[in-house]
C-alpha cells in the first residue's frame, strides 16, 4: 500500500516475490502494469507471466487479467498489480479485487498493490482534501482480510523529484500531474492518511478486541447506527460511520425510517435513492434495516435502544419552512429522546 503512484509499491511487491522464488515458491505474474518503468520491469526477470485476456469493447481492444488461466495454472502465489482496477465491460467480474477473491478461494495466495485513497471509507476525505473524487474504490473489509499490509513510503519531495526526472510518467504527463493531483500539499495529506491507516492496522493486530480493562471489567463494545435518507449526503454518513466503527472495533448498523405503507406507493426517486444507499451499506458489510413508522425520531430512538446502540450518526435536518420555524427538527428530537447515547451530526462538506 502506498499513497500515490510512483512510491514503489510494484517494485516492493516484486522484490518480495523474488525472495519467495529463490526459496522455491511457485509464483506467476497474473497481471503486471509496467508504465514504462525500466527498474520495475527488470524485477520481473525469471517470472512466468500468464498471458492477458483480450476483450473488445467500444471499437477498441483491452487487456485484462485472465483469471481463469491463472486458476488453471494453479501456482502457489500470484502477483496481481493494481488491486482497485475496474475491469472493462465484458469481463466476468466487475472489479479486480473480485478476481483476486476468486484466486484466494481456489487456495492461491496473492500479492497485490493499491493506494490508500482507494479505500471506500476515505473517499469523502480524499475528495475534500484534493478536490478529486476517486472513482475506483475497494470496500474496507476486503483490505482488512489481508494477512499483511505493507506501507511503501516516500517523502512528497522525493516523489515529486521522481516525477520531474520522468521516472514515473512521460515529461508532459508528469508536468500536468505536478500541477494537479501531485501537489506537495495533496501528497502530504495522502501520506498522512496512509500512515494513520497503517498505524490502525498495526494497533488492531496487536490488541485482542474487547479485551478486559485494567479493572477487570469487560471493555465497552461500541455499536454505531447510521440514519439513512434518500439525500446524497447519506453516502458520506455511511463512509464516516463505517470508518469510526472499524477504528473502535465495533458494529455498524444502518436504518431508514419509511412512512407507513410506503411500499404501496410504487417506485419513486426517493425510494430508488434509499435503495442505492442501502446497497452501498451492504457492500461495506453494514447491517441494514428498514422500519415503517410515522414518528421518525421515536422509531430511530426505540430501534437504537433495542439494538444496544452507543452512537448514532445523522446528517443535518433540512431547515423547516418559516411557518414551522419553532418546531423541532428530526435531529433535535432524536437528541432530546436519546440523551443516553452519543449523537454525531455529520457535516455535508462541499468544495
pLDDT at 324 over 80: no
Question: Going by C-beta distance under 8 Å and a sequence separation of 6 or more, which residues neighbour residue 254?
Answer: 225, 226, 227, 228, 238, 241, 277, 278, 281, 286, 287, 288, 289
pLDDT digits (tens, 9 = 90+) for 130-173: 888 999 999 999 998 999 999 999 999 999 998 888 888 887 78
C-alpha distances (whole Å) from 251 to each of 73, 312, 342 are 40, 12, 15
Distance separating alpha carbons of residues 102 and 110, to the nearest angstrom: 11
The CATH class of 223-346 is alpha beta
Domains 9-204 and 223-346 share a fold: yes
pTM of the predicted model, to two decimals?
0.75
pLDDT at 286 > cutoff 90: yes
Convert the pLDDT of each residue in 250-284 to its tens digit.
999 999 999 887 654 545 778 889 999 999 999 88
- Cβ-proximal residues to 306 (8 Å cutoff; 6+ apart), any chain: none
Task: Give the SS3 label for residue 49.
Answer: strand
State the average pLDDT over residues 77-82. Answer: 97
Q: Quick one: pLDDT at residue 211? A: 44
Percent of the chain with pLDDT over 70: 90
Domain positions in the chain are 9-204, 223-346
- Please give the pLDDT value at position 51: 96
**C-alpha distances in Å from residue 6, one per residue of 127, 162, 233:** 20, 8, 33
Query: How far is 313 from 293, CA to CA, in rounded Å?
Result: 19
Mean pLDDT of the chain: 87
Q: So what's the pLDDT on residue 7? A: 93
The owner of cell 484466486 is 103
What pLDDT score was predicted for residue 180?
Answer: 84
Residues 181-211 have pLDDT tens digits of 889 899 999 999 898 888 877 777 666 554 4
Q: What is the pLDDT of residue 214?
A: 43
CATH topology of domain 9-204: Rossmann fold (3.40.50)
Q: Give the model's pLDDT for residue 3.
A: 94
Confidence of residue 213 (pLDDT cuts 50, 70, 90): very low
Amino acid at each position: 500500500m502506498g499513497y500515490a503512484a510512483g512510491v514503489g509499491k510494484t517494485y516492493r511487491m516484486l522484490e518480495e516475490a523474488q525472495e519467495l522464488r529463490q526459496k522455491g515458491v511457485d509464483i506467476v505474474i497474473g497481471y503486471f502494469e509496467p508504465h514504462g518503468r525500466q527498474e520495475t520491469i527488470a524485477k520481473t526477470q525469471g517470472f512466468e507471466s500468464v498471458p492477458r485476456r483480450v476483450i473488445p469493447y467500444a471499437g477498441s481492444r483491452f487487456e485484462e487479467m485472465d483469471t481463469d488461466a491463472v486458476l488453471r495454472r494453479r501456482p502457489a502465489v500470484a502477483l496481481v498489480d493494481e488491486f482497485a482496477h475496474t475491469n472493462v465491460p465484458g469481463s466476468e467480474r466487475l472489479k479486480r479485487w473480485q478476481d483476486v477473491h476468486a484466486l484466494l478461494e481456489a487456495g492461491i495466495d496473492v500479492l497485490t498493490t493499491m493506494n490508500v485513497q482507494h479505500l471506500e471509507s476515505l473517499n469523502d476525505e480524499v475528495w475534500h482534501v484534493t478536490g478529486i473524487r476517486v472513482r475506483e474504490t475497494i470496500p474496507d473489509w476486503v483490505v482488512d482480510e489481508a494477512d499483511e499490509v505493507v506501507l511503501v513510503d516516500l517523502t512528497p519531495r522525493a516523489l515529486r523529484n521522481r516525477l520531474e526526472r520522468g521516472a514515473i510518467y512521460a515529461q508532459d504527463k508528469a508536468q500536468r500531474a505536478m500541477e494537479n493531483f501531485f501537489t506537495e500539499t495533496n501528497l502530504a495529506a495522502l501520506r498522512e492518511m496512509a500512515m494513520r491507516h497503517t498505524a490502525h492496522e498495526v494497533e488492531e493486530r496487536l490488541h485482542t478486541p474487547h479485551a478486559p480493562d485494567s479493572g477487570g471489567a469487560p471493555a465497552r463494545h461500541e455499536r454505531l447506527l447510521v440514519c439513512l435518507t434518500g439525500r446524497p449526503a447519506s453516502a458520506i454518513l455511511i463512509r464516516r460511520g463505517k470508518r469510526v466503527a472499524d477504528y473502535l472495533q465495533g458494529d455498524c448498523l444502518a436504518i431508514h425510517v419509511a412512512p407507513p405503507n410506503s411500499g404501496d406507493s410504487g417506485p419513486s426517486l426517493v425510494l430508488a435513492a434509499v435503495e442505492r444507499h442501502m446497497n452501498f451499506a451492504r457492500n461495506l458489510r453494514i447491517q441494514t434495516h428498514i422500519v415503517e413508522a410515522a414518528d421518525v425520531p421515536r422509531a430511530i430512538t426505540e430501534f437504537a435502544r433495542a439494538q444496544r446502540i452507543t452512537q448514532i450518526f445523522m446528517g443535518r435536518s433540512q431547515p423547516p419552512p418559516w411557518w414551522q420555524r419553532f418546531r423541532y427538527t428530526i435531529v433535535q428530537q432524536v437528541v432530546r429522546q436519546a440523551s443516553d447515547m452519543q449523537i454525531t451530526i455529520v457535516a455535508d462538506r462541499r468544495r
